[in-house]
């Protein structure tokens, strides 16, 4: 299967502090890949590097096109949508206005309207609150809105940073179920950063474990689940 994303010898730095040290990974078209690791391992930095919001060297190719050196807006136009940690919704705007903003690079207005209805079908709570300010939504609803807004771009690659953080288990289960549905039905490739290793390994196809900015272990999720270190440190059994 062709590679949608190929990352080679990627480094990333904040000023003089290096956070990633020559990491390599790839994502196949239509697959879900997860990046696991403790706080400070470089998971969020990896997503920022893909969006070019942090200083990077090495190579990042999406559909064979080089990303390194591009402006962030150009990366978005290549079909990369990012759901950052902390949700990242525009709290002063309504649910509907947030969704419209997600489609700002698109010109196909009729399809945008159809996609908005599809988001409301997938996330009925958002439809009930379509005219409500995003800042008044619950944490789970804000996460649903952040994912929906990213999907309004019709991305090739969806980047998700800690989508379960701070949410009740029932809400997390619902969001992960919908993410699996989106992947299967719409063939959207996903790169998921998640502290809840058990959830992430159940959802994803491939996993990479980062330790202090380097890939320590990688492979199919079924294999990673059975790795003794992963089980002891990240899965707790």
Give the Cα separation of 155 and 227 in Å (integer).
Answer: 33
Average pLDDT across the chain, whole number: 94
- pLDDT, position 86: 74
Domain boundaries, the chain: 1-79+187-237
- pLDDT, position 221: 96
State phi, psi for 209 to the nearest 5 degrees: -105, 120
pLDDT of 122 over the 90 cut: yes
Which stretch of 24-28, 92-96, 108-112, 157-161 has the lowest confidence by average pLDDT?
108-112
The residue-averaged pLDDT of 148-172 equals 94
DSSP state at residue 133? B
% of the chain residues with pLDDT over 90: 84
DSSP state at residue 232? I
- Find tokens 């879900």 and name the residue: 32
| Model confidence, pTM | 0.94
Beta bridge partners of 59: 8
Beta bridge partners of 60: 7
Please tell me the class of the 1-79+187-237 domain.
alpha beta
What three-state secondary structure class fits 5?
A: strand
Number of neighbours of residue 224 by Cβ within 10 angstroms: 25
pLDDT of 190 over the 80 cut: yes
Give the Cα separation of 161 and 224 in Å (integer).
Answer: 20
Number of neighbours of residue 165 by Cβ within 10 angstroms: 15
Q: Of the candidates 140, 126, 59, which has an alpha carbon nearest to the alpha carbon of residue 97?
A: 126
The residue-averaged pLDDT of 16-35 equals 96
Which of the four pLDDT bands, split at 50, 70 and 90, describes residue 68?
Answer: very high
Which stretch of 7-11, 12-16, 37-41, 127-131 has the lowest confidence by average pLDDT?
37-41
Which stretch of 11-20, 98-107, 142-151, 216-225 has the lowest confidence by average pLDDT?
98-107
């Amino acid at each position: 299967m062709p590679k949608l994303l190929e990352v080679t010898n990627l480094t990333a730095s904040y000023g003089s502090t290096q956070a990633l040290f020559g990491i390599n990974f790839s994502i196949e078209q239509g697959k879900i890949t997860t990046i696991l690791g403790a706080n400070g391992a470089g998971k969020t930095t990896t997503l920022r590097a893909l969006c070019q919001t942090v200083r990077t060297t090495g190579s990042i190719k999406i559909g064979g096109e080089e990303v390194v050196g591009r402006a962030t807006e150009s990366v978005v136009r290549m079909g990369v949508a990012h759901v950052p940690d902390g949700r990242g919704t525009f709290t002063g705007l309504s649910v509907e206005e947030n969704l419209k903003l997600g489609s700002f690079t698109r010109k196909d207005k009729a399809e945008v309207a159809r996609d908005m209805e599809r988001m409301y079908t997938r996330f009925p709570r958002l439809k009930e609150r379509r005219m409500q300010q995003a800042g008044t939504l619950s944490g789970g609803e804000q996460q649903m809105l952040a994912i929906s807004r990213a999907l309004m771009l019709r991305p090739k690659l969806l980047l998700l940073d800690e989508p379960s953080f701070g949410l009740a288990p029932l809400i997390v289960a619902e969001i992960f179920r919908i993410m699996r549905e989106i992947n299967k039905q719409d063939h959207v490739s996903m790169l998921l950063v998640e502290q809840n290793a058990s959830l992430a390994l159940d959802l994803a196809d491939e996993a990479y474990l980062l330790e202090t900015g380097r890939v320590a272990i990688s492979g199919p999720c079924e294999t990673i689940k059975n790795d003794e270190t992963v089980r002891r440190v990240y899965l707790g059994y």
